[in-house]
């Protein structure tokens, strides 16, 4: 049977990236990512957000730049796959497991910061964008109706 394991996430870091190295100097970067699901409450009619917290690990050459240019609260776009770790609990609690994402690629998101850990300038600088109008984040995106749909 064929299978496909691919994850694409965009969210904000819940903590500063933790960069470590294996004995053979392979970089490993670990961090948490909060991804929000926005929905309209059926009873109150209000828009609500429900966060999902995901642990992410980046190995190798992409780990060091990620740790250098990201910090807690910054937005990140992650592409990778799911992994499952299983182990025996040290206190005799039986088998334990944890599902996490191993990132293959990442991209900068937004225009804030730009340099290492929020400094201005540097390779992370994004092109300037118009400031969003007040309250824009609280509204549902507007879609245009097209009358001559080709199907």
Q: Which has the higher per-residue pLDDT, 146 or 49?
A: 49
Both tokens assigned to 12: 């904000």
Q: What is the set of domains in the chain, with CATH numbers?
A: 8-88+95-112 (2.40.50.140)
Query: What is the pLDDT at residue 47?
Result: 93
Per-residue pLDDT band for 151 (boundaries 50, 70, 90) equals very low
Query: What is the pLDDT at residue 132?
Result: 47
Q: b/e per residue, 51-69, with b = 16+ CB within 10 A?
A: eeebebbbeeeebebbbbb
Spatial distance between the Cα atoms of 9 and 35, rounded to a whole number of angstroms? 7
Instruction: Name all contacts of 17-23 with Cβ < 8 Å and 24+ positions apart.
Output: 17/66, 17/67, 17/70, 17/71, 18/67, 19/63, 19/64, 19/67
* Start-to-end CA span in the chain (Å): 35
- Helix (H) / strand (E) containing 149: none
pTM over 0.75: no
pLDDT tens profile 1-48: 899 999 999 999 999 999 999 999 999 999 999 999 999 888 898 999
What is the CB neighbour count within 10 angstroms for residue 109?
16
Contact by Cβ (8 Å): 98, 146: no
Burial class (CB in 10 A: 0-12, 13-18, 19+), 78: buried
Cα 69–Cα 29–Cα 95 angle in degrees, nearest 5: 150
Per-residue pLDDT band for 106 (boundaries 50, 70, 90) equals very high
């Amino acid at each position: 049977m064929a299978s496909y394991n691919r994850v694409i996430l965009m969210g904000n870091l819940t903590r500063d990236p933790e960069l470590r190295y294996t004995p053979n100097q392979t970089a490993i970067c670990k961090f948490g990512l909060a991804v929000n699901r926005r929905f309209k409450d059926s009873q109150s009619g209000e828009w609500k957000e429900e966060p999902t917290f995901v642990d992410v690990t980046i190995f190798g050459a992409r780990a060091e730049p990620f740790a250098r240019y990201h910090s807690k609260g910054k937005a990140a776009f992650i592409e990778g796959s799911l992994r499952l770790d299983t182990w025996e609990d040290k206190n005799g609690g039986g088998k334990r497991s944890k599902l996490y994402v191993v990132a293959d690629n990442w991209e900068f998101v937004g225009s804030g910061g730009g340099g290492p850990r929020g400094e201005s300038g540097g390779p992370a600088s994004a092109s300037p964008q118009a400031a969003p109008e007040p309250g824009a984040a609280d509204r549902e995106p507007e879609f245009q109706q097209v009358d001559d749909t080709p199907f």
